[in-house]
A and B are shown apart, each in its own frame.
Chain A
Amino acid sequence: MTAKISLRNVTKQFTVRPGKHPGKGSGTASTTLTAVDSLSLDVRDGEFLTLVGPSGSGKTTLLDLLAGLSTPTSGEVLVDGQPVTGPGKDRAVVFQQYALFPWRTASANVSIGLEGKGPDGRKLSRRERAAKASEYLKLVGLAGFEDRFPHELSGGMKQRVAIARSLAYEPDVLLMDEPFAALDAQTREQLQEELLRIWRATGKTIVFITHGIDEAVYLGQRVAVLSARPGRLKAIVDVEIPDRDGDEDIRSTPAFVEQRHKVWTLLHDEVRLAQDAGHRKILPDGTAPDEPAPDEPAAQQTPERSAA
């Protein structure tokens, strides 16, 4: 097996400006936070890897690095053996908040990645783009919705469009950042099944971030567990569930329950650690609105959702 993606001793640090605290004058002091600390990880070609970790373990940071939206402080991110220098057509990102362009129809959203020159230097005509968009909308179960605007679609349908958009320009790697977290349980389960179907049909390499242990074990061939901040690779769990493609309810098989418990145990200590340390989310622009200012003690923390 060749490594499609490899992370070599990747470290990412942020200079964090604490968010504005109402009624307090502080806000100018900045601190350096290590979001990801010398992390090494290989993802095989065509693999479905899920990534779990407590809040603040650098999951989104890692995805940004893979997508080329930010660069590591030290270490290397390689895709096909080549260092990542920026976003590229070989990788696609699916965001939790869909990030559809609201002024474009479903079809136009899907085809936005096709509007430039293709890898062969040829530009697709409008009709070819529309045909391709229809093809991918059909793949995600949205045939006939080409002319709908995002505000006319439900949350699940929006995420389907977003998945179609990321698949349409035929990347090798799909990077997904908690894509189903904002959906209701029923829709989430449907989309999980569909994603597995699409993955089997297209053979993409998928890196899927989640904070749901069930989701991680259900989808992933391997589950990478990250530690509390600074994010390190704590363990990789090989998910071995016999007869995965059968008609059975996988979630109730003993093998699934066992794997789920394994990941849960690994994650549990980290979640508690993260809670005690009061780790909060760092936004992509480098602000951490919830992070307490360095001069004040961490306030009483509310339980993290990822413990579920």
Chain B
Amino acid sequence: MSATLTKPHRPAGASPAEAAPAVGQSDLPEKPATAALATLGYAARGAAFRTGSWLWKATGILAFLTLWEFGPLYLAAPSTRVFLPPLHEVLLAWGKLFESGSIQGHLAASLGRSVAGFGIAVVAGVSLGLLIAWYGRLNSVLNPLLELFRNTAALALLPVFTLLLGIGEESKVTIVAYAAFFPVLLNTIAGVKTVDPLLIRAAKSLGLNSFRLFQKVILPSAVPTIFTGIRMAGTASILVLIAAEMVGAKAGLGYLIVNAQSSFLIPDMYAGILTVSLLGLGVNFLLVALERHFSRWRTAVGA
């Protein structure tokens, strides 16, 4: 900003053709050499800071793992130690489960269900959300109903789904879809409704009809908000699925955990829990990256 202000004043009468290229450059945010050097310094310090912060983050995890490894041996009473095996026993159990292929089987079962339910939720949530946001009347009819369903805990409906759909795959996929549906739906509605009215005016003045307006302005503008909903749905779908698998299933990580517990294979139970954590982390990482990719243009708005 200061660069533009301190620039020598160009005489107003200068011939326009000659003025054009100079004008094109002078309202660029300029970066003199000193500023570039300073930026370099910042970047270097930033990199150091980032490695530092990684170190701090790793410290937390390492401390936790150390406590897990040595805590049961030295701190816990012998009777508790049975229920809280040290880390290496859990890792050994995980290795055995991996060798026998059973953990892959359970992971595949869980992933299959959550991907199916999540997929249904995204497709249904986005399309219904767009419809509701576009047709105001539909919104007033459906809104109270949606509020009611949204505030009913998904797991409370598990017995209903089990009764209606049996204890097979359908009931589990359905409950995952149900739990993941609402974040997607509500964020889609919010995304469409918060489109900048000025952009709509601009699009109308450009002669875009309703359909083009929706396709070229409203939808792209809502995409970041929709992806926030999709990320929330991803987390919700895994949480609900594990619980559902604990209640009645023949495979899946939830089943592995509960089954190991009742068979008194305590290290196997922890191996299952560890897998669930890693799965959750992985899914969240993926969806955050996806969300960031689609919101790139929004990051610097207002800067």
Contact = CB atoms under 8 A, between A and B. Distances in A.
A and B form one complex: yes
Contacts of A156: 27
B23 interface: yes
Contacts of B10: 189-190
A103 B221 contact: yes
B204 A87 contact: yes
The DSSP consensus for interface residues of chain B is helix
A250 B20 CA distance: 18
Contacts of A68: 205
B201 interface: yes
A190 B11 CA distance: 10
Given A87-B204, A154-B27, A102 B4 contact: no
Interface in B251-284: none
Interface stretch (B40-48, B89-97, B212-220): B212-220
Most buried by A among B7, B13, B29, B298: B13
B152 to A, nearest CB: 34
A194 B205 contact: no
B203 to A, nearest CB: 8
A95 to B, nearest CB: 6
Contact of B297 (A103, A143, A186): A103
Contacts of B299: 151
5 contacts: A113-B206, A165-B206, A184-B4, A190-B10, A190-B27
Interface of A: 67-69, 87-89, 91-93, 95, 97, 99, 101-104, 112-113, 115-116, 141-143, 149-152, 154-157, 165, 169, 184, 186-187, 189-190, 193-194, 196-197, 200, 246-251, 284-285
Given A88-B207, A247-B14, A284-B197, 18 more contacts: A87-B205, A99-B199, A101-B199, A113-B206, A141-B24, A143-B24, A156-B27, A157-B27, A165-B206, A169-B206, A186-B4, A190-B27, A193-B23, A197-B16, A249-B12, A250-B12, A251-B12, A285-B197
Interface of B: 1, 4-5, 7, 9-17, 19-21, 23-24, 26-29, 197-199, 201-208, 212, 216-217, 220-221, 223, 297-301, 303
